[in-house]
């Protein structure tokens, strides 16, 4: 096996990318409690919500109030994280209006979202990839003016549910354009969960040739059970930032058949077993996911949650959960 980074930054996307796919809307108090529990696990960054139209994504209603309450409860808002040691609380913003809301609510960081496939972009955001990039210029300019970092997602980086295999050069062009605009990190996203390890390694290496692997993250769905294998391929290619969702929450309403994100617990169990440091407490994270499962009234799909620790804690053995 090729070498992997000694430390990996885990970006928790459950409160946004996970909850937005749930059929029911989680009450604000429960959203605050979920993020508070996640923050106590040692996660460096949590994507807590999205400043989008509530009629289109009702699960993200109340994001403005959520960020204001979280800033008071745990910190992590703009200008707070460095002083308080709280996780960075980030939010997805689709346009200038979303960015204005994010600034007013005190988000610590924002993310923009586009695709490598025009067909998917039209279904998801009702515009072409090029049109989305033009729209983001205002967002990036506002972020720079206020000293806010911007992350970018490139969905359908490997496969599009409408047109099939996506050309690597199309992904490279989008990633390069976003970087040139000022995005500090590009999360290559396996929206349909169809990528395989060889495809992941190949694309990471191609994109890293243009923008440096230090700017590349991966955002993987586990639809076909390949997410962890794909993470390993990305790590061996030099990636050191991985997105995951507590309990395996998520999916994509615009990608038929796509199931949840890679479960954060599954990712941590693999990384810690390899001696890779994350700074995240696996036991605490699993407890937060179990709490959420009770709140939404269903079992979460994460494999670690189903199986539990190798040695149960009640047996008096340490689980070595935090690495």
Residue 66 maps to a domain: yes
Digit-coded pLDDT (tens) for 155-189: 999 999 999 999 999 999 999 999 999 999 999 99
Residue 208 maps to a domain: yes
Instruction: Tell me the catalytic residues.
Output: 252
- Could you tell me the pLDDT band of residue 318, with boundaries at 50, 70 and 90? very low
* Confidence (pLDDT) at 2: 77
**The three-state (H, E, C) secondary structure of 74-101, written as one string:** CCCCCCCHHHHCCCEEEEECCCHHHHHH
- Could you tell me the pLDDT band of residue 250, with boundaries at 50, 70 and 90? confident
Q: Dihedrals φ, ψ of 185, to 5°?
A: -150, 145
Q: Locate tokens 């007013």: which residue?
A: 104
Per the prediction, the chain carries an average pLDDT of 92
Sort 112 into a burial class: Cβ within 10 Å, 0-12 / 13-18 / 19+: buried
Least reliable range by pLDDT among 143-147, 177-181, 316-320: 316-320
pLDDT of 152 strictly over 60: yes
What's the rounded mean pLDDT across residues 9-35? 95
pLDDT of 279 strictly over 90: yes
Residue 54 maps to a domain: yes
Residue 36 or residue 312, greater confidence: 36
Question: Residue 258 in contact with residue 252, Cβ under 8 Å?
Answer: yes
Residue 67 maps to a domain: yes
pTM: 0.93
Residue 229 maps to a domain: yes
- Could you tell me the pLDDT band of residue 76, with boundaries at 50, 70 and 90? low
Domain that residue 278 falls in: 9-315
Digit-coded pLDDT (tens) for 47-61: 999 999 999 999 999
CA neighbor of 242 nearest in space, from 70, 43, 31, 34: 43
pLDDT of 14 strictly over 60: yes
Cα dist from 8 to 113, 209, 239, 289, whole Å: 23, 21, 8, 21
* Confidence (pLDDT) at 251: 66
- Could you tell me the pLDDT band of residue 80, with boundaries at 50, 70 and 90? low
Residue 320 maps to a domain: no
What's the rounded mean pLDDT across residues 62-77? 90
Residue 3 maps to a domain: no
Cα dist from 155 to 38, 120, 129, 229, whole Å: 25, 8, 11, 19
Residue 57 or residue 310, greater confidence: 57
CA neighbor of 61 nearest in space, from 101, 99, 89, 100: 101
Please report the DSSP string for 23-48 in residue order.
SSPPPHHHHHHHHHHHHTTT-SEEEE
* Confidence (pLDDT) at 255: 52
Q: Locate tokens 């807590």: which residue?
A: 48
Q: What CATH number is given to the structural domain containing 207?
A: 3.20.20.70
Distance, CA of 85 to CA of 283 (rounded, Å): 20
CA neighbor of 31 nearest in space, from 74, 1, 2: 74
Q: How many domains does the chain have?
A: 1
* Confidence (pLDDT) at 96: 96
Residue 133 maps to a domain: yes
Distance, CA of 69 to CA of 90 (rounded, Å): 14
Distance, CA of 257 to CA of 193 (rounded, Å): 9
What's the rounded mean pLDDT across residues 71-75? 86
């Amino acid at each position: 096996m090729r070498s992997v980074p000694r430390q990996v930054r885990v970006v928790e996307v459950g409160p946004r990318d996970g909850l937005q796919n749930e059929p029911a809307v989680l009450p604000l108090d429960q959203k605050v409690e979920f993020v508070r529990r996640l923050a106590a696990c040692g996660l460096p960054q949590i994507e807590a919500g999205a400043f989008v139209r509530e009629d289109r994504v009702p699960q993200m209603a109340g994001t403005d109030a959520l960020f204001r309450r979280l800033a008071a409860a745990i910190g992590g808002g703009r200008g707070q994280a460095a002083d308080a040691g709280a996780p960075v609380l980030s939010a997805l913003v689709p346009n200038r209006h979303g960015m204005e809301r994010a600034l007013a609510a005190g988000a610590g960081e924002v993310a923009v979202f586009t695709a490598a496939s025009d067909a998917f972009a039209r279904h998801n955001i009702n515009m072409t990839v090029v049109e989305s990039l033009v729209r983001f210029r205002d967002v990036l300019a506002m972020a720079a003016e206020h000293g806010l970092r911007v992350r970018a997602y490139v969905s359908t980086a490997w496969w599009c549910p409408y047109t099939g295999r996506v050309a690597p050069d199309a992904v490279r062009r989008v990633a390069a354009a976003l970087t040139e605009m000022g995005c500090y990190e590009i999360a290559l996203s396996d929206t349909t969960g169809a990528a395989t390890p060889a495809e992941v390694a190949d694309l990471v290496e191609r994109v890293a040739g243009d923008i440096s692997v230090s700017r590349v993250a991966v955002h993987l769905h586990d639809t076909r059970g390949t997410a962890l294998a794909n993470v390993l391929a990305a790590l061996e290619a030099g990636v050191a930032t991985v997105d995951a969702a507590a309990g395996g929450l998520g999916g994509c309403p615009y990608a038929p058949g796509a199931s949840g994100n890679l479960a954060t617990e599954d990712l941590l169990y693999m990384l810690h077993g390899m001696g890779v440091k994350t700074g995240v407490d696996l036991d605490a994270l699993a407890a937060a996911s179990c709490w959420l499962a009770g709140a939404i009234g269903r079992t979460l799909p994460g494999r670690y949650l189903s199986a539990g620790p190798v040695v149960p804690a009640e047996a008096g053995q340490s689980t070595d959960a935090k690495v």
